[in-house]
Structure 1
Amino acid sequence: MKMTVGGRAVSYVLAYLFALLALYPIVLMISSSLKTNMEIFASPLSLPKTFSLDTYKKLWEAVPYADFLWNSVFVSTLSVLLITVFSAMAAFYLSRFSFKWTAGLYFFFIIGLMIPIKLGIVPLFLLMKNLGLLNSLWSLILIYTASGIPISVFILTGFFRTLPIELEEAARIDGCSHFQVFWRVLLPLIRPALATVVIINFIHAWNDFFFPLIFIQEEALKTIPVGMMVLFGEYETDWSLLFAGLTLSALPMIVVFLMASRQFMEGLTAGAVK
């Protein structure tokens, strides 16, 4: 049904309103990071009177923010990379090969969606202690990888199953091996699913507070969510420093989201034009 001019105008107005509502907290966070602590209390909703980056300079001097940033980038990036690689290979196997144990193996991954990993915090702590990984970034990487694989396999398996089997048959006639079919033919076609997996797991690893608090004690190894806790004083909190830290910590997530969103749209429209 063709939309009228008035209906299209209302749709645009509503879309812009939702966009403003979504962007307002981000604008407020950035503007607060450019204010002094007294200015935030005096006029919390107004724009800063003067533009100054002194708060950001003070943040890098007050806490080892460079270490926090590097730890978060290292843990999140490596975790997402491992999750994407292992989940894609597992999903390809589950969707394209049929053995008597395939259904049971797929159900094994689904169980990972049903059981919260935080329920096993005590066994996980003992396991990391026995492996000598306490107070190590690798403990976080292993946990994020293990917790992210089930939902990633679930998403990617569904996408693999929607691809026509004729693509594989044509590739095998041309002499492609199993890995070449997976890497050259099918994987480029599931970019929307890969983008979804990357966004979901990166945000989870980047924002997680629970596991770094449990497994990391050394100050230089803390990630941003835990490291920012030092800015909360017992009697006073410097909110300008806190907003500056939150602004810097949000930038990598925004970049990853924009990059993955572009791939998502390209994947959706890849077969629209011959």
Structure 2
Amino acid sequence: MKTSIGGRAVQYVIAYLFMLVALYPIALMIASSFKTNMEIFANPLSLPSSLHFETYQKLWKAVPFADFLWNSIFVSGMSVLLITVFSAMASFYLARFSFKWTAALTFFFLLGLMIPIKLGIVPLFILMKNLGLLNSLWSLILIYTASGIPLAVFILTGFFRTLPVELEEAARIDGCSNFQVFWKVLLPLIRPALATVVIINFIHAWNDFFFPLIFIQKETLKTIPVGMMVLFGEYETDWSLLFAGLTLSAVPMIGVFLLASRQFMEGLTAGAVK
């Protein structure tokens, strides 16, 4: 059924309104990062009268922001890499091989979606202490990897099952092993699903405040969400520094989304149109 010109115009107007509502807080954050504290309090919703780039210079001196940024990049990047590798191999196994324990293994991964990992914070803390991983970025990487694999397996298994088996049969006739079929034939075909997994888990690891607060006490090992808490004073807060830090911390997330946005949207809408 075709949509009339008036109906399409209304759809575009609503879409643009939603876009403005979504982008306004981001634009306000960026604009506030170029203001002074006095200007933020006097005109919080206005554009800056002049661009104060010294706020960003002051940020690097006020807190070890370079350490916070590197820690967040390292933790998020390694977590996403491990989640993608392990979940892709597990999903290939679950989707293409049938053994008596396949159903139990699938249910095991689904349990990871049903049970919040934060319920096990005390056993996790004891485990990390016994492993000597307290005040180590690897404690965060292992936790994010363990908590991200169930959803990734759930997404990737569904995509693997949509691929025709004839592709694998043709590859095996040409002499490909199981790993070559997985790596060279099937994996390139599920790039939309991989992009979805990367973006979801990167955002989760990048924005998480709870686990870094529990497992990291050393100042130079803190990630951005915990490290930025230093800027909140007991009696006063330098809001210009805070907005500058938030602006810089949003750049990697925006970059990752822009690089994988096309694949991400294809992954979300896969199967919607036949």
Q: Does 1:9 find its partner at 2:1?
A: no
Q: Structure 1 residues 141, 61: closer, same or farther in 2, change over 3 A?
A: same
Aligned residue for 1:125? 125
The structural deviation recorded for 1:267 is 7.2
Moved more, 3-12 or 27-36: 3-12
The structural deviation recorded for 1:268 is 9.1
Note if contact 2:195-2:267 (Cα within 8 Å) is conserved in structure 1: no
Secondary structure class of the residue paired with 2:99: coil
- Match runs of 1:82-161 below 5 Å: 82-161=82-161
Note if contact 2:68-2:224 (Cα within 8 Å) is conserved in structure 1: yes
**Structure 1 CA distance, aligned partners of 2:265 and 2:104?**
34
Note if contact 1:34-1:48 (Cα within 8 Å) is conserved in structure 2: yes
Provide structure 2 residue ranges, at least 5 long, that are not aligned to the other structure.
none
Aligned residue for 1:68? 68
The structural deviation recorded for 1:99 is 0.2
Aligned residue for 1:221? 221
Secondary structure class of the residue paired with 1:2: coil
Note if contact 2:196-2:263 (Cα within 8 Å) is conserved in structure 1: no
**Structure 2 CA distance, aligned partners of 1:267 and 1:214?**
34
**Structure 2 CA distance, aligned partners of 1:63 and 1:72?**
15
Normalization by structure 2: what TM-score? Answer: 0.96
- Alpha-carbon deviations, 1:73-117, whole Å to 9, x = none? 000000000000000000000000000001100100100111111
The structural deviation recorded for 1:263 is 2.9
Moved more, 65-74 or 252-261: 252-261
Q: Does 1:23 find its partner at 2:23?
A: yes
**Structure 2 CA distance, aligned partners of 1:3 and 1:130?**
63
Aligned residue for 1:242? 242
Structure 2 counterpart of 1:7, one-letter code: G
Structure 2 counterpart of 1:227, one-letter code: G
- Match runs of 1:230-269 below 5 Å: 230-264=230-264
**Structure 1 CA distance, aligned partners of 2:269 and 2:125?**
45
The structural deviation recorded for 1:172 is 0.9
The structural deviation recorded for 1:262 is 2.5
**Structure 2 CA distance, aligned partners of 1:73 and 1:197?**
17
Secondary structure class of the residue paired with 1:263: helix
**Structure 2 CA distance, aligned partners of 1:31 and 1:67?**
25
Between the two proteins, the alignment pairs up a number of residues equal to: 270
Q: Structure 1 residues 185, 267: closer, same or farther in 2, change over 3 A?
A: farther
**Structure 2 CA distance, aligned partners of 1:269 and 1:145?**
25
Normalization by structure 1: what TM-score? Answer: 0.96
**Structure 2 CA distance, aligned partners of 1:238 and 1:265?**
38
Structure 1 counterpart of 2:30, one-letter code: I
Aligned residue for 1:36? 36
Aligned residue for 1:48? 48
Structure 2 counterpart of 1:131, one-letter code: L
**Structure 1 CA distance, aligned partners of 2:82 and 2:106?**
19
Q: Does 1:177 find its partner at 2:158?
A: no
- Alpha-carbon deviations, 1:194-224, whole Å to 9, x = none? 1110011000100000110111011000000
Structure 1 counterpart of 2:256, one-letter code: V
Note if contact 1:160-1:186 (Cα within 8 Å) is conserved in structure 2: yes
**Structure 2 CA distance, aligned partners of 1:204 and 1:264?**
16
Note if contact 1:189-1:267 (Cα within 8 Å) is conserved in structure 2: no
**Structure 1 CA distance, aligned partners of 2:218 and 2:268?**
44
Aligned residue for 1:58? 58
**Structure 2 CA distance, aligned partners of 1:269 and 1:245?**
34
Aligned residue for 1:163? 163
- Taking only the aligned residue pairs, the percentage that are identical comes to 85
**Structure 1 CA distance, aligned partners of 2:110 and 2:264?**
25
The structural deviation recorded for 1:10 is 1.6
Structure 2 counterpart of 1:234, one-letter code: E
The structural deviation recorded for 1:35 is 0.5
CA RMSD of aligned residues (A): 1.5
Note if contact 2:135-2:215 (Cα within 8 Å) is conserved in structure 1: yes
